[in-house]
Amino acid sequence: MSGQATSKPIRADAARNRTRLLDAARIAFAAGAPVSLKQIARDTGVGIATLYRHFPTREALVEAIYQHELAQLCADAEDLLGGAEDPAHALRSWMDRFADYTSTKRETADALRAVLASDIVTASPAREQLCAAVQVILDAGIAAGTLRNDVHAEDIVVTLVGMFTTTSLAGGGDQLGRMLDLLMDAVRCPAP
């Protein structure tokens, strides 16, 4: 027998519990009121030990929600381009979706800020996913002549994360919108 551990497949009931916990947590956090992990477990119909088995900390639960929604946000890049939007407009719309996605999470804001500021976004598949989504839009904008060809997707992602982590929830939406407009001015091709 080798020294490497083999990962066992997740049992169907465990997978269902995990999905139900994520769904319940997403709904609870979206409601805006303070949420306890015990209440999420209760709403799901499982014990708190089951919740902790899947998500050992509140941050782990927030990260799992974040990862699921991140996948959807990244898929939105292609959808926006497929909707026949000008690539520059598609990029700004995608930025707005990113901002809406992050700023509406009042209950999870501190935990999400910690996730965004950690290695999860700075050196991980999440960062790669975001960069790939932005690159799709940049490529279309470069081809259309509306976005600069010297802009790096990674620079946009890092800037967006920085904008989110430095703007406050109370009144930060207006400032974030202005900052996104400034970023768009920087990546658009100059008018002829």
CA–CA separation, 125 vs 120, rounded Å?
A: 8
pLDDT in tens, 73-101: 899 999 999 876 789 999 999 998 888 77
CA–CA separation, 68 vs 50, rounded Å?
A: 20
CATH topology of domain 11-56: Arc Repressor Mutant, subunit A (1.10.10)
pLDDT in tens, 118-137: 554 445 677 888 899 999 99
Task: Record the pTM.
Answer: 0.69
Which residues of the chain are in CATH 1.10.357.10 domains?
58-187
The one-character DSSP state at 34 is: -
Lowest mean pLDDT among 1-15, 128-142, 151-165: 1-15
Identify the CATH assignment for 58-187 out of 1.10.357.10, 1.10.760.10, 3.40.50.300, 2.40.40.20: 1.10.357.10
